[in-house]
Amino acid sequence: MKPSLSNNFTISVRHQIWEESPEFAEFYQGIYSVTLNFLVNIMFVPGFEINVNNWPPRVPENIDNVSSKLEARLFTLFFCDYIVTPDQFRAGQQEVISLASAVEDFDNSNLASNVRVVFYVTPEEFTLFSKELHTLSEQTSGIHDYVRISEIDNLQFAKFILSSVINSQYLLAKDKEILASENERIEAVFQSEN
């Protein structure tokens, strides 16, 4: 089952500052959560310097008390399976990060897997995505608000999701199933029974 535009899944966008306590919200400025079919999350995270001290991301020391933009961005990376971020030198690449040792130290049932996939784009692409995400977040600001992919397939961030994220070899099987059309699910069940 391969998700595609024909499946016409839903998309909602939330600016992460809306999800955080007021005293910490400023650190999440520019981070957007894009949710496909109400279950598959892709985080768009502004750039940050990667170094030996923060890469791969580790369990935040105090998840309830983020004290900087860098901590907020690394915290977001740690807890989301798919991340889009700008990096001029890695643009167009995907990086798979294993959090195995960190996950062993952190017992949290909300962690879907111990692997994260980072999709690198140019800073210019990320700036354009951010503008589109901001506009769409205003349109889907309610908890149950969404648009269909077919309604926004002309937007650059939607094209990127369709071409790079959904077609990634690293898209988790459970997420492929969530994004597959009802006909594909029925066909898969029929094939598994025969």
The predicted pLDDT at position 129 comes to 98
Query: Is-contact 117 168, C-beta < 8 A?
Result: yes
The predicted pLDDT at position 96 comes to 92
Ramachandran region, residue 161 (left: φ > 0; alpha: ψ -120 to 50; beta: rest): alpha
The predicted pLDDT at position 109 comes to 39
The predicted pLDDT at position 57 comes to 67
User: 22 preceded by cis ω (within 30°)?
Assistant: no
Q: Compute the distance between CA of residue 147 and CA of residue 36 in angstroms, rounded to an integer.
A: 10
Range 165-171 average pLDDT: 93
β-bridge pairing 115-121 and 82-86: parallel
Residue labelled with tokens 């016409």? 8
pTM comes to 0.82
- Assess whether pLDDT exceeds 50 at residue 183: no
Residue 191's pLDDT band, with cuts at 50, 70 and 90, is low
Whole-number average pLDDT of the chain: 82
